[in-house]
Structure 1
């Protein structure tokens, strides 16, 4: 108890306690400072993290908007491409139709050329046949006109069935009682070049048969000779 009452001891204890208290305060101060620094550092970290997250969010939003714009642009381009494909398909269809029409026109032109060639050949054949008939007519004229008093006339027939230039063969010296009496047969040429009997005066019942034989043989002198015989037979009947 005496040692406790020692003033030096008390002073020394008090001093040591103050030192301890100071050290504790210093430690507490260091802890507070460290805590404050850590708190400030944490705040800075959190703020930086928040700023980074906000920036990231903004960047993501911007990227999302950009993606949406790209998507819309891609949809528009796909739509435009689809329309262009449809337009190209229509153009191709029109081109194919034009090609088919062109081919059809070429075939028609070829057909017309062939028909024109055939028509030309037919005309040449008819001209050749007509020359032969003209030759036969000339021979018949010589035989019948010079020897039998046959007269050949050119007439224009304006009837509805037969139009154009026709030939009339006028036979005389048929009726013994009237040598000048005229017996007439009128003939023409059809479009195909064959002979056509228009009429006879007087009428001969066998004329269709004689005409058919003329078309088969193309022998005009023989036909005229047969007609003369029929006229003679009719005049004497």
Structure 2
């Protein structure tokens, strides 16, 4: 009982309580301050992000506005050029109209000559097309003699009446049904033109040139088959 009632005990207890209270108070203040700082940092971060997003959106809008402005500006400049050209053209027309009566007869003559030239070209084109069709028919007939002996098949590509596809077989001894093909076209001048070859032949341009010179299509077919066969040697 003497220890409990000692005069220094209450003072020490009060001091200890004050220290605990101070420590708890400081801890509470520190936690509150830390929380407030964290919240302020987050709020600042959110504000910065919102501001950045707003600035970015505004920048994009301004950039698009500038592009539209530049486009409008270019269009206006282009229209100004067109207007200037039209004005120059109108000036030339006005000048031309001054001697219209003088040039009238020459113009009528030129138009008539142009019509005659167009009619002549049209007749020539019709005749050339007919000649090409006749040549294709002749090619088909001459090529038919090779169909049995050389296993040659002649086809007309769909929608391309001016072309013929030639298909050789019995060339590859390992696969007698393996096709060797080329497509022939008669151009506007009536010349033979090979537009595709499978498998490709390096000498095809020379063979093409020779058949144009000699017009010996039978020899051309025989030479093409010979070159196809040489690929398997």
TM-score under structure 1 normalisation?
0.51
**Larger-Rg structure:** 1
- Matched-pair contact (CA < 8 Å) for 2:185–2:195: yes
- Kindly report which structure 2 residues correspond to 1:39-188, keeping only aligned pairs within 5 A, or say none: 97-140=100-143, 142-156=144-158, 166-188=163-185
Aligned mates of 1:107, 1:234 — CA distance in 2: 59
Inter-CA distance 122–223: structure 2 relative to 1 (3 Å threshold): same
Task: Give the Å deviation of 1:187.
Answer: 1.7
2:206 is equivalent to residue 215 of structure 1: no
TM-score under structure 2 normalisation?
0.51
- Matched-pair contact (CA < 8 Å) for 1:145–1:151: yes
Aligned mates of 2:129, 2:109 — CA distance in 1: 29
Aligned mates of 1:98, 1:138 — CA distance in 2: 60
2:193 is equivalent to residue 196 of structure 1: yes
Inter-CA distance 147–100: structure 2 relative to 1 (3 Å threshold): same
- Matched-pair contact (CA < 8 Å) for 1:152–1:170: yes
RMSD: 2.7
Of structures 1 and 2, the one scoring higher in RCO (CA 8 A, sep 6+) is 1
Aligned mates of 2:180, 2:211 — CA distance in 1: 19
Question: Could you list the runs of 5+ residues in structure 1 that have no partner in the other structure?
Answer: 1-92, 158-162
Question: Could you list the runs of 5+ residues in structure 2 that have no partner in the other structure?
Answer: 1-95
Inter-CA distance 129–166: structure 2 relative to 1 (3 Å threshold): closer
Aligned mates of 2:164, 2:136 — CA distance in 1: 12
Task: Give the Å deviation of 1:175.
Answer: 1.8
Aligned mates of 2:182, 2:135 — CA distance in 1: 21
